[in-house]
Amino acid sequence: MKNLVILFSGTSLAINHLFKKVGMESVYQNFMHLGKKEGVFISISIPSLVKGIRIEKAITYQGKWTTVQNIRADYIFDKLSYGGRRKQIIKKVSKHIKVINDPDLSLICDNKLLTYKTFLQFSPQTFSVTRENFREVVEKIQSRKIVLKPWYGSNSNGIVIKKKSQVCPKDIGNQYIVQEYIDTRGGIKGIPRPNTLRFIVFNGEIVFYTLETAKEGEMISGNVKAVKVSKNDIPFRKIKKILNEIDYVFRNYFPRLYCVDFSITKEGKICIAEINSKPGLYPSEGESQADYDKVIKRFFRSL
C-alpha cells in the first residue's frame, strides 16, 4: 500500500485547525475512504513534521480520527495555503518526496501574472499594476470593465470587478494584475449569467468538466451553481486543442493534476480565466459526488 500524505498549512493537527471551512472534514474522510479501497493509505500532516522522506506524525480517518507516526511517504499532496513560505517549503520537501504537483508546475498555475506570460495567446489582456501606475495601465485595457486580482489567491479573495472610470488606488494591493473583463453571458447557449467552464486534467487527459455559473452578481468563485453540459453544448474541440497546448508545457511533470477555467464570449472568443494546481475534488451545488469519486479513484490508481 502506498502512502500519500496531504500537507496542510499551520502548526497544529487539531481537527478544528485543519478544517475551518464547513463540510471539508467530510470531504477528506471520503477521500481517505476511497484511497483505502484503491490501495493508498492517506494521512494529513503539517510542514514542521516532515523530516526528509519520513513524516514524524500525521492524522488519518479510518472510522475515527487517529494519530499515526513515523510514516515513510511515497507522495506529498500539496494543499498548503498561498503566500508565506509555501514555495520554500515545497521546494525543500520535493528534494526527498514526490510532490503533487511539482513546485514548478504549481508556480506557473498559481502566479496569475506568470500564467498570463506562459499562455499569452490564450489569455485576456493582462498587466502588472500598482497604485502608482494604475491610471496609465488601466487605460491600456480595451474593455469598459476591468478585473483586478492579486498574483496569488483563490476563492475570489482580493478580486475587484469595476468600470475603468471607477477604479481607485485602494482597490489595488501588493502584487496585483489588471485584466480585461470577459463577458461570458450568452457564451454558452441558454446560460444568461456569468460563468466559467472548468476542465480537470490528469496526466494530460480530461477527466471531468462542468459549467459553473454565478448565482448572483458577477463573481463566480464561491458563488457557484454548476450546470451539466455535453460536448455539443460547448466548443469542445477548440478547448481540447488549447488544453493540449497547456499540457505540453507541463509534459515533464508527473503525476500532474490541475484544472483550467475558461471564459467564453457570445462572439466565440475563448480565454483562460485561471489555472489551478490544487483543484477541489468535491461537488459544488448542482454536481454529483459520484462524478468526483470517479476522478479521485482514477487519480489513486495512477500512483
Other C-beta atoms within 10 Å of 170: how many? 8
What pLDDT, on a 0 to 100 scale, did the predictor assign at position 85?
A: 83
pLDDT tens string, the chain, 303 residues long: the values are 999 999 999 999 999 999 988 899 999 999 999 999 999 999 999 999 999 999 999 999 989 999 999 999 999 999 998 777 888 999 999 999 999 999 999 999 999 999 999 999 999 999 999 999 999 999 999 999 999 999 998 777 889 999 999 999 999 999 999 999 999 999 998 899 999 999 999 999 999 999 999 877 765 655 678 988 999 999 999 999 999 999 999 999 999 999 999 999 999 999 999 999 999 899 988 999 999 999 999 999 999
In terms of DSSP bridges, do strands 176-180 and 126-129 run parallel, antiparallel, or are they unpaired?
antiparallel
Residue 285 DSSP label? B
Residues 6+ positions from 168 with CB-CB distance below 8 Å: none
User: Taking the domains of the chain in order of start, what are their residue ranges?
Assistant: 2-100, 109-113+184-301, 125-180
**Phi/psi at 167 (nearest 5 deg)?**
-70, 135
Q: How far apart are the first and last CA of the chain?
A: 10
What pLDDT, on a 0 to 100 scale, did the predictor assign at position 220?
A: 60
Cell of 19: 478544517
* Whether 196 contacts 209, CB under 8 Å: no
What pLDDT, on a 0 to 100 scale, did the predictor assign at position 219?
A: 59
Q: Which fold has domain 2-100?
A: Rossmann fold (3.40.50)
What pLDDT, on a 0 to 100 scale, did the predictor assign at position 298?
A: 94
Other C-beta atoms within 10 Å of 61: how many? 20
Second CATH level (architecture) for the domain 109-113+184-301:
2-Layer Sandwich (3.30)
* Whether 200 contacts 284, CB under 8 Å: no
Second CATH level (architecture) for the domain 125-180:
2-Layer Sandwich (3.30)
pTM reported for the whole predicted model: 0.93
**Phi/psi at 116 (nearest 5 deg)?**
-60, -45
117 vs 184: CA distance, rounded Å: 23
